[in-house]
Structure formats: structure tokens, C-alpha cells
């Protein structure tokens, strides 16, 4: 049995590709999902990867869910905080609820995911923390004040955790995907999406597997001195 890897939002979109890639690389993978039972069941049936249902926005649910994963599969050595949502609206139309939902899931959800796992990583003197941020956390985005704030916040989280975990053998890094061909990007109005693609020098959307391969590197033993870093995978759309 390989190392245990937890991927939040791991049954669909970029998370699905990450779960599959880590399994292929020999990890025992646990994928969480928030609500879509049907998609999760289909995912487990086709991949053999176990799924667990909890809301990352809720600390107690995360803690209980993580304890269950560790009881069933063993200590989590790799955690990929991937679960995220969008509630896009120009700022003058953004409601406090749209702000709160995105902060609770994308930012507090990252805290809730890593915090219960962190003490065990410190004790065992090994851990890989990987957070899926976004190009829009690096550059901002029209209609995404909420989302961009959370994705920029992710970068603050990993840079701080990197310093706290370095001596305990724990690394914390982020991947900033650009626009990837997932349901989330397909939900953007077609005209807007076409205009976005025209701004990507690669001339295309990225594939979820291209993000999964970045995560696989950060999870591996090869990346031990890479800590507090961000891998941008965006087809040359934006440079930090």
C-alpha cells in the first residue's frame, strides 16, 4: 500500500484528474465530495477510488471525515486542498451571501482540510500539502472579487505553512491553474469564454491532467526542497 493521499473535491473536474493520477502513481487515494452522490458513485465504480462526503466549509465535518479516512486507510501523508466553487458577479452586484459562500468553501475550507491533518504530519516528520489556487488569485478577475480573494489567500497559507513545516519534513506548495476545460470554466458564458481563450497564448484551455501532473510532482519525494512555491500552469496567459 502506498502513501495515503486525500483530495478534496476529488471526484470531479481537476480533482478527479488528480485523484486518478495519484492512484496511478501508487498512492492510496481518498476523494471527498460535497453533494453529488451520483457522480461520486460513478467515479468510485470506474476508478476504484473511495469517496467520502463532507462539506469542507464545516470544521467539525472535516475533522470527523478526516478521522474516518485515517481509520480506514491510514495516516494521510499527502493532502490536496482542491475543493472550490465560484459565485461570479461584478462587485456592485455581488451579495454578502456570494462573498461568504466562496470564502467559507475556498479559503476556510482549506484551513479546515489541512488543520486536522497537520499535527500527524508534524509527529511523523513527513507531509506534502498542496493547495489548488488559480491564475485569478495571481492577477484578479472581473466578477471574481470573492474567488480571487480566496485564491490569493491560498498563496499566503502555503507560504506560511512552508516556513512552519520545513523542519518537520513537511512541504506546502500551490498550483495555480489557468483556464482548464472543466465544468467550472464551461459554465462561463460562451462569448466570455471565447474572449478568454483568445487571451491565452497557447490558444487553448488546459487539460485537467496537466494540473494533475504538477500535483504529482509536488507530492513526490523528488520535490523535497520545493517549499512555499507556486507552479503556474496557464498556457503563458500570465506571469508572476
Reply yes or no on whether 179 is catalytic.
Answer: no
147 binding ligand CAA? (CB under 6 A) = yes
Considering only residues 170 to 229 of the shown chain, the ones binding ligand CAA according to CB under 6 A are 179, 184-185, 188-189, 192
Number of Cβ within 10 Å of residue 92's Cβ equals: 5
82 binding ligand CAA? (CB under 6 A) = no
CB of 79 or CB of 143, closer to ligand CAA: 143
- What does the alpha-carbon distance between residue 72 and residue 94 come to, in Å, rounded to a whole number? 42
Q: Please report how close the Cβ of residue 67 comes to ligand CAA at its closest, in angstroms.
A: 30
Give the count of residues interacting with ligand CAA (CB under 6 A): 19
232 binding ligand CAA? (CB under 6 A) = no
CB of 225 or CB of 239, closer to ligand CAA: 239
CA nearest to 164, candidates 219, 116, 98, 119: 119
The residues near 123 (Cβ < 8 Å, ≥ 6 apart) are: none
- Helix, strand or coil, per DSSP, at residue 26: coil
Write the binding mask 124 to 143 for ligand CAA: x where contact by CB under 6 A, - elsewhere: ----------xxx----xxx
Retrieve residue 216's grid coordinates.
Answer: 504529482
- DSSP notation for 175-194: EEE-SBSSHHHHTS-HHHHH
* Binding residues vs ligand CAA (CB under 6 A): 86, 88-90, 93, 134-136, 141-144, 147, 179, 184-185, 188-189, 192
Amino acid at each position: 500500500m502506498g502513501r495515503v493521499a486525500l483530495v478534496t473535491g476529488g471526484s470531479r473536474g481537476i480533482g478527479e484528474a488528480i485523484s486518478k493520477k495519484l492512484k496511478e502513481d501508487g498512492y492510496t487515494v481518498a476523494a471527498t465530495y460535497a453533494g453529488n452522490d451520483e457522480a461520486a458513485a460513478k467515479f468510485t465504480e470506474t476508478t476504484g477510488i473511495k469517496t467520502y462526503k463532507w462539506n469542507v466549509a464545516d470544521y467539525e465535518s472535516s475533522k470527523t471525515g478526516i478521522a474516518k479516512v485515517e481509520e480506514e486507510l491510514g495516516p494521510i501523508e499527502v493532502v490536496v486542498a482542491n475543493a472550490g466553487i465560484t459565485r461570479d458577479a461584478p462587485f456592485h452586484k455581488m451579495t454578502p451571501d456570494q462573498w461568504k459562500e466562496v470564502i467559507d468553501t475556498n479559503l476556510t475550507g482549506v484551513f479546515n482540510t489541512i488543520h486536522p491533518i497537520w499535527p500527524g504530519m508534524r509527529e511523523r516528520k513527513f507531509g506534502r500539502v498542496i493547495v489548488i489556487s488559480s491564475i485569478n488569485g495571481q492577477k484578479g478577475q472581473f466578477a471574481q472579487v470573492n474567488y480571487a480573494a480566496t485564491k490569493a489567500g491560498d498563496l499566503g497559507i502555503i507560504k506560511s505553512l512552508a516556513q512552519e513545516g520545513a523542519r518537520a519534513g513537511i512541504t506546502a506548495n500551490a498550483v495555480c491553474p489557468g483556464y482548464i476545460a472543466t465544468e467550472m470554466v464551461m459554465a462561463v458564458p460562451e462569448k466570455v469564454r471565447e474572449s478568454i481563450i483568445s487571451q491565452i497564448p497557447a490558444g487553448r484551455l488546459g487539460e485537467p491532467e496537466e494540473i494533475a501532473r504538477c500535483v504529482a510532482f509536488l507530492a513526490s519525494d523528488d520535490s523535497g526542497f520545493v517549499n512555499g512555491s507556486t507552479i503556474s500552469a496557464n498556457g503563458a496567459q500570465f506571469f508572476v
